[in-house]
Amino acid sequence: MPIVLDDLKLSYTPVPKTACTSLKMVFFDIENGREFVPFRHNGREFHIHKVYASVLFNPKQAGRLADYRRLILVRDPIQRLLSAYGNRVVHHRELSLANARKELFAHDLAPDPGLEEFVTKLPRYMKAVESIDHHARPLVDFAGTDAGYYTRVYRMSEIEDMVADLSAVAGRRLTVGRLQTGGPKLSVDDLGRREIDTLRQFYAEDYRAFGRYFEGAQG
């Protein structure tokens, strides 16, 4: 379900690799009046994604929020995927033998794939490793297929506008940091024509539903 602040009649739908860690921090601040600090309880670690999960779109939940302000931040799908590759595959090494040996062998996949191989075999890598599936899933899986459902759809370049609007709702100045930034910064120029076409086909529903809000070169 989205993050829902009933007192303010406000909801935000987080989408992985779309500044969602940073915005979850902002919403925690709005709801609790303080910065979130990771903690341990009974031997378990709790980070912001344990407090606010990014989950798949639920039409029943959407209906409950009919009279709420419904916000979402969106990003070009190819840029999302490149960010996921740089952060989850290169930086966190989630497709290394150390972290996913059993899953990779079970699906006959090479560890630590280069960008071209990762894109070419994206559905297989997603099926093999849950965290890759979570970060690479299409936007519409999290947001639904109707952009008109949202009171405001913010582009990535409008994140400061989003935080300013949230500050007005909260009645105090909020700030947004940049989190989960580890890994190389890749662009569409790092992809070949075939990989771009593969990704545009994979994320075709995202482009149909939210394409007018996407920014940057899309090939």
| pLDDT above 80: residue 64 | yes
Length reported for the chain: 219
Name the pLDDT band for 179 (thresholds 50, 70, 90).
low
**Confidence check: pLDDT of 218 > 60:** no
pLDDT at 219: 45
Residues 6+ apart with CB under 8 A from 185: 86
Residue 43 to residue 33: CA distance in whole angstroms: 26
Find out whether 215 and 155 touch, Cβ atoms under 8 Å. yes
Q: Backbone dihedral region of 188: left (phi > 0), alpha (psi from -120 to 50 degrees) or beta?
A: alpha
81 burial (CB, 10 Å; 0-12 / 13-18 / 19+) is buried
Domain boundaries, the chain: 3-213
Looking at per-residue pLDDT, the higher value among 61 and 81 belongs to: 81
- Nearest-angstrom CA–CA distance, 8 and 140: 26
Q: Examine the pLDDT at 152 and tell me if it is beyond 50.
A: yes
**What pTM value is reported for the model?**
0.91
Residue 174 has pLDDT above 80, yes or no: yes
Please state, in angstroms and rounded to a whole number, the distance separating the CA atoms of residues 79 and 61.
Answer: 28
Sign of CA dihedral 124, 130, 132, 136: positive
DSSP category for residue 41: E
Helix (H, G, I), strand (E, B) or coil at 202: helix
Cα angle: 68, vertex 173, 64; to 5 degrees: 10
Closest residue by Cα to residue 89 from 127, 125, 139: 125
Rounded to 5 degrees, φ, ψ at 81 are -65, -40
Would you say 128 and 111 are in contact if contact means Cβ atoms under 8 Å apart?
no
Instruction: Say if residue 8's pLDDT is above 70.
Output: yes
Does pLDDT of 175 surpass 50? yes
Distance, C-alpha 114 to centroid of its chain: 22
Residue 177 has pLDDT above 80, yes or no: no
Instruction: Tell me the range of 29-33, 184-188, 197-201 where mean pLDDT is highest.
Output: 197-201
Question: How many C-beta neighbours within 10 Å does residue 56 have?
Answer: 11
Q: Is it the case that residue 217 has pLDDT exceeding 60?
A: no
Residue 119 token pair: 């894109």
Kindly tell me if the per-residue pLDDT of 43 is higher than 70.
no
Residues 78-96 have pLDDT tens digits of: 999 999 999 999 999 999 9
Say which residue, 141 or 48, is predicted with more confidence.
Answer: 141
Q: Are 180 and 87 in contact (CB under 8 A)?
A: yes
| Predicted local distance difference test score (pLDDT) of residue 69 | 96
Predicted pLDDT at 212:
97
E strands along 17-106, which residues?
39-41, 44-46, 69-74
